[in-house]
Amino acid sequence: MSFHFPDKMDKLVILFLVMIASEAIRKKGLGDVVWAVTKHKYDGKKPHIVFTYTSPDGDQGFPGELIVTVTYKLVKNNELSVVMEAKPKDKATSVNLAHHTYWNLGGHNAGDILSEEIQILGSSYTPVDGELIPTGQISPVKGTPYDFSNSIVLKII
């Protein structure tokens, strides 16, 4: 099955789940809706929480009802596992989930996160063109603004 997206705006809507569209034409993306907590475990080994959202048929122009789940789980030495799934219920549809959660490690009401440190052990990234569409090229992060191989304080970035 294939889908036809006739103009650049449609490509941006797909790529960023409507997050960068202007407020005048913005539709609610999955980050703008209330998700239900469908499962949780607070204590013992592997505490976890599962959030579920059902996107109705026709939501953001896509066919079919889509059941989306995100599971956050602590595993091994308090490593965070994030698993995202999307299953069409009644019609084939196009979906590409992206995780853009930001955490204030100081806790709720602890102020901004600018004193937090970040380190990403990634060696490459995918550049985008002038319309923020990935070019398909894979480039090294070394020496670029995307090089977080060494820990850096956020307010310095």
Residues 6-43 pLDDT 10s:
454 455 444 543 343 333 344 577 878 888 999 988 87
Residue 112's pLDDT is: 80
CB-based contacts of 133-137 (< 8 A; 24+ apart in sequence)? 133/11, 133/12, 133/15, 134/15
Q: What are the boundaries of each domain within the chain? A: 1-101, 113-157
Mean predicted confidence (pLDDT) in 67-94 = 89
Average pLDDT, the chain: 79
Residue 16's pLDDT is: 44
pLDDT confidence band for 51 (50 / 70 / 90): very high
Percentage above 70 pLDDT, the chain? 81
In sequence order, what DSSP letters do the residues of 15-47 get, joined into one string? HHTTTTS-TTT----GGGSPPEEEEEE-SSSS-
Lowest-pLDDT range of 59-73, 75-89, 95-109, 128-142:
95-109
Sheet bearing 48-55, strands edge to edge: 36-41, 48-55, 66-75, 79-88
